[in-house]
Amino acid sequence: MTRIVIAGGQVFDGTGTPAEAADVLVEGGQIVDVGTGLDGDVRVDATGHTVLPGLFDCHVHLLFDSADLVRSLNTPFSLPFYQAIGNMRATLDCGITTVRDAAGADLGVAEAVRQGLVEGPRMQIAVNMISQTGGHNDSWMACGAEIPQLLPPYPGMPGGVADGPEELRKVVRSMIRAGADVIKIASSGGVMSPRSNPRHAHLRDEELAMVVREAEAAGIAVMSHAMSGDGILAAVRNGVRSIEHGVFLTVEAIEEMCSRGTWLVPTLLAPRMVLGQADAGVPVSDVVLAKARTVVAEHAASFRAAVDAGVRIAMGTDSGVGPHGDNLTELTLMTQNGMKPAQALHAATRSAAELMGLREELGTIEAGKRADLVLVEGDAEQHVLDGTLKDAIRAVYQDGRKLR
């Protein structure tokens, strides 16, 4: 096998230690050594560059790229599957080699990547989001029509609205049958849903407990779209692995998250994407805009409180609410709201790998790990601060194969 050595750069290995000069030796899709003076069959000169582990985005929607409801109503059903190929390419171009798709991608999309039919980040999929009637995945509009935010139910995409423990048990099992690697629920209302309030908690304790119990029986975790303080706290107390968004975090919820080791995937970018599209002329309803504007300031304050308290944080963007390819803006937003650049990068590498149960394979540059690597010209941490990280990426490797 060809041995490739990426030599002469500064290696940010994701373990928590500062970046330092080192070479990285890759063979057969794996990192076989990290050190100085390494030799290989092919030498990649990384002088003046930072070598990062492949990055993670723990909250994306690869089949979507806009909040434009009018456009979606005029889009043929199958077109998003083809558009997803470009969305995956844009994600890889950010150095993101692993994602968690938080609803929209079905088993066929995941298998197309796994079988090498299309290039894309390796993924864990939720298939569809589960919410209560009137919740974040209820497509009922005030006019009486039902217009799905994501995709309508079809073979491979079970419906996601359920009420009561027994209905939820069946829906969770349906998601698992359809290929879900993680179960996604909504324990509060949200910004994009037409008839829900992000300050209101959804699903009761007995319902949340049932979801977590059924997921655990299948050996998988639960992620919860949770904005309201009560919705966050209920989800945490009932054993979800990660809180998505966490907009209206309370002191009690933060303390409970720290006590239980629950993760926060903040998606600071998400409401900003909605507002940015509205500014660009995309038709966004007044109700959704009002919610997005309310969320932004509270979201940042909650994130800062979580950072200060030591909540475990993994990077996620909600890309799909807006265009893919701007994912790394999330890292800059994290540094603007209390994180140091190295902490933000850690949230997108080792921490994210741990959240997704992939720490033994990915997230750090160590011998024996899969060779997902990103070559960044200059100082990656400074690029995070400046918001220029994407522009500085010179190469992306996935399992030792150069993708760009």
pLDDT at 140: 72
Residue 78: pLDDT band with limits 50, 70, 90: very high
- Is the model's pLDDT at 174 over the cut of 90? yes
Enumerate the domain spans of the chain. 3-53+362-402, 55-327
Handedness of CA 176, 181, 186, 187 (dihedral sign): positive
Mean pLDDT of all residues in the chain?
Answer: 94
Instruction: Write the pLDDT tens digit of every residue in 255-275.
Output: 999 999 999 999 999 989 888
Please count the CA atoms within 13 angstroms of the CA of 114 that sit on its side-chain side. Answer: 10
pLDDT at 287: 76
pLDDT at 191: 79
> What CA–CA distance (Å, rounded) separates 376 from 94?
11
> What CA–CA distance (Å, rounded) separates 17 from 108?
39
Burial zone of 279 (CB within 10 Å; 0-12 exposed, 13-18 middle, 19+ buried):
exposed
Instruction: Write the pLDDT tens digit of every residue in 337-384.
Output: 999 999 999 999 999 999 999 999 999 999 999 999 999 999 999 999
> What CA–CA distance (Å, rounded) separates 192 from 198?
10
CA-based nearest residue to 315, from 56, 62, 121, 93: 56
pLDDT at 136: 86
Bridge-based pairing of strands 129-130 and 182-186 is: parallel
> What CA–CA distance (Å, rounded) separates 400 from 388?
25
CA-based nearest residue to 121, from 356, 382, 292, 388: 356
Instruction: Write the pLDDT tens digit of every residue in 6-34.
Output: 999 999 999 999 999 999 999 999 999 99
* DSSP assignment of 148-203: -SS---BTTB---B--SHHHHHHHHHHHHHTT-SEEEEESB--SSSTT--TTSB-S
The percent of residues above 90 in pLDDT, for the chain, comes to: 81
- Is the model's pLDDT at 288 over the cut of 90? no
Q: What is the pLDDT averaged over residues 220-230?
A: 97
- Is the model's pLDDT at 231 over the cut of 80? yes
Q: How far apart are the first and last CA of the chain?
A: 21
Q: What is the pLDDT averaged over residues 212-227?
A: 98
CATH 2.30.40.10 fits 3-53+362-402, yes or no: yes
CATH 3.40.190.80 fits 55-327, yes or no: no
- Is the model's pLDDT at 82 over the cut of 90? yes
- Is the model's pLDDT at 276 over the cut of 90? no
pLDDT at 189: 86
Residue 75: pLDDT band with limits 50, 70, 90: confident
> What CA–CA distance (Å, rounded) separates 18 from 34?
15
- Is the model's pLDDT at 144 over the cut of 80? no
Radius of gyration of the chain, Cα coordinates, nearest whole angstrom? 20
pLDDT at 22: 97
> What CA–CA distance (Å, rounded) separates 227 from 356?
21
Q: Which residue has the tokens 């050190």?
A: 35
User: Higher pLDDT residue, 74 or 46?
Assistant: 46
The percent of residues above 70 in pLDDT, for the chain, comes to: 99
- Is the model's pLDDT at 213 over the cut of 80? yes
Q: What is the pLDDT averaged over residues 237-253?
A: 97
Residues 6+ apart with CB under 8 A from 7: 23, 38, 43, 44, 45, 46
